[in-house]
Amino acid sequence: MSTTTAATPTQCSTHSRAVQRDIEPGSIVECILCGERIKFQAKIRPKQVICNVYKGTNWDRVEHFHAPCYAQAGEPHGPADTTPVVKTRRVAAKNNPEMQKA
């Protein structure tokens, strides 16, 4: 029996929020503040801030910022979450007996 449950609408966040992430190769988005392309640079490893923006309880859009631009803008969607991303679900599944049964 699994103790994991799917998120219900009341558990999902319906407010604007921001996360800080590495810039991935091939990024083709532009910074909302400065208008410049958010570019991958292997040696420097700059960060970007990605924001899910809601109007009321409805998702409206995604905004991208260079990390310094987000700070310069005054963190318009709150402090950026810097929790590292789990890179692969296979590793999580391998370590979770309940997921192996699926």
Predicted local confidence at residue 12, as pLDDT: 52
Predicted local confidence at residue 51, as pLDDT: 97
Beta-carbon count within 10 A of 91 CB: 10
Is residue 35 helix, strand or coil? coil
Predicted local confidence at residue 85, as pLDDT: 83
Q: List the chain domain ranges.
A: 17-83
Going residue by residue through the chain (102 aa), what tens digit of pLDDT does each one get?
A: 434 333 334 445 678 999 999 999 998 999 999 999 999 998 988 999 999 999 999 999 999 999 999 999 999 999 999 998 887 666 555 666 655 555
Q: Tell me the whole-structure pTM to 2 decimals.
A: 0.70
CATH assignment of 17-83? 3.30.1740.10
Q: Which residues contact 62 (CB under 8 A, 6 or more apart)?
A: 50, 51, 52, 53
